[in-house]
Copies of this chain bind each other. A is one copy, B any other.
Amino acid sequence: SFDAAQVSTDLSIDAFFLLYASTLIFFMQTGFAMVCAGCVRLKNVQNTLLKNILDACGVSYGFYSLGYAFAFGTTPGNTATTFIGNRNFFLVGVDDDSFWLFQFAFCATSGTIVAGALAERCQMVAYLAYSLFLSSFVYPVVVHAIWSNNGFLSARNINPLWGSGMIDFAGSCVVHITGGATALIASKLLGPRTGRFHDLHGNLLDSPKEMPGHSLALQCLGTLILWFGWYGFNCGSIITLTINDNYKVISHTAINITLSGAAGCIMTLISSSIAAERSTGETTYYLPYALNGCLSGLVAITAGCSIVDHWASIVIGLTSGALYLVCSKLLVKWRIDDAVDAIPVHLTNGIWGTIAVGLFAVPELLSNVYNSSTHAGWFYKWGMGSADATLLACQLIGILFVTGWVLCMMLPFFWLLHYFGYLRADALEEVIGLDVAYRGGMLESNDDQDEETKKKM
């Protein structure tokens, strides 16, 4: 019958759409790997890349075995608010493979955020342990709370928090705060790279030693790949394309991504350039800042990409660029060493993006996406003469919950790793580069080249 054919057609489109989005998100692994490779010194390229590829693999198994079950494994029809799911372990009984694939790709992203922050000084085993722990338990609990219909914070809960629930469309909070907060905790416990803030005798340096990455081209490549992947990340979060007017949502979302990313980039570039001019008198432009500013804008728009107006996405992006710069400087001041600035990009702007939803969510767009516009962004409510800040309050509760939960789980976890000597790489190994134990690494290859060059001279 026509009806059945129509349903089957729609199912095909929806599965195809999620496959498209999932593959783009999976491609973000490439982006993260290139950003990390570009940001570390040549002597650490191999181990950094290895961590990035292990990440994708480790997370696959953490999420396959336990993660998905904890996040979404509830009995169909069960509308109770639960802390955690309890079925669908090892993909058993999963009806919708496309949804699983999509959620897996998200989980992998969350896991890989932390890799860069720990680069150049962390042991492989610590990274593997953290990867599995995050993807099988810590992250799924956050997902369950915010995205499952049974989560206590979810806007799709039958009885949402304060009649509103928290709104995080594509994961500024779920993905980026979780990853970013873990990066902060781990960086703090791990300590800075040797020679970053102190000399070899442990005396504080007058100014921190810059440790620039070995290839801006790779960092730029990675950032642009991430931007490309972001369209899958955010547009795909509508999940079912063919219902309601969701086809309008994906285009609206894609435009907001573009405007916010560009705004973050421009803001960071101009601010850092002006700041440099004031202190040195010369006009200089910093590509790494521009790239991270761009990522900051993308992170910040992630929570609200489908439910804020285009002008708001520009405001969100501009603010995110400024926040990134300030937090990046603060981290250096506090002597927390982050090789790729993952913390100011993902944690700071994850928080900002989540709050921004509470300020700028448009009633009409909320109706489209969440079937309810009772509690919209505070600015709109204000404009209507109401003081209703329920949504903003929910967003803040969400941020508190996620940061608190990550802290309670990850602080003891990394502390134990540290205590038993599995966290920090050997001091000597760190100075000569973590790649030194490997054969076939870049250094050897370069030595080889050097020898050839020498012979020619």
Residues of A within 8 A of B (CB): 2-3, 5-6, 8-20, 22-24, 26-27, 29-30, 33-34, 37-38, 41-43, 45-47, 49-50, 52-54, 56-58, 60-61, 64, 90-91, 96-98, 100-101, 104, 124, 210-218, 220-221, 223-225, 227-228, 231-232, 235, 241-242, 246-248, 250-252, 254-255, 258-259, 261-263, 265-266, 269, 282-288, 290-291, 294, 310-311, 432, 437-442, 444-446, 448-449, 452, 456
Given the contacts A56-B262, A262-B56, A449 and B241 also touching, CB distance less than 8 Å: no
Copies in the complex: 3
User: How far, in angstroms, from A20 to B15 measured CA to CA in the complex?
Assistant: 13
- Residues in B with CB closer than 8 Å to A310 are 64, 90-91
Is the CB–CB distance between A228 and B27 below 8 Å? Answer: yes
A149 smallest CB distance to B (angstroms): 21
- Contact among B213, B241, B262, B285 for A16, CB-based, below 8 A: B241
Is the CB–CB distance between B224 and A33 below 8 Å? Answer: yes
- Residues in B with CB closer than 8 Å to A14 are 247
- A-B contact sample (20 more), CB < 8 A, given A101-B254, A284-B437: A15-B251, A16-B20, A16-B247, A16-B250, A19-B254, A23-B24, A27-B228, A34-B221, A46-B216, A53-B294, A54-B265, A57-B263, A57-B266, A90-B311, A91-B310, A97-B255, A211-B448, A216-B441, A217-B442, A287-B441
User: How far, in angstroms, from A432 to B457 measured CA to CA in the complex?
Assistant: 12
* 9 pairs of residues in contact across A and B, judged by CB atoms under 8 Å: A15-B247, A26-B258, A53-B223, A60-B258, A98-B247, A212-B444, A282-B437, A287-B438, A432-B456
Is the CB–CB distance between B221 and A251 below 8 Å? Answer: no
A361 smallest CB distance to B (angstroms): 18
- Residues in B with CB closer than 8 Å to A37 are 217, 220
- Residues in B with CB closer than 8 Å to A290 are 50, 53-54
- Residues in B with CB closer than 8 Å to A255 are 91, 97, 100-101, 104
A360 smallest CB distance to B (angstroms): 16
Most buried by B among A251, A284, A288: A251
A267 to B, closest residue via Cβ: B57
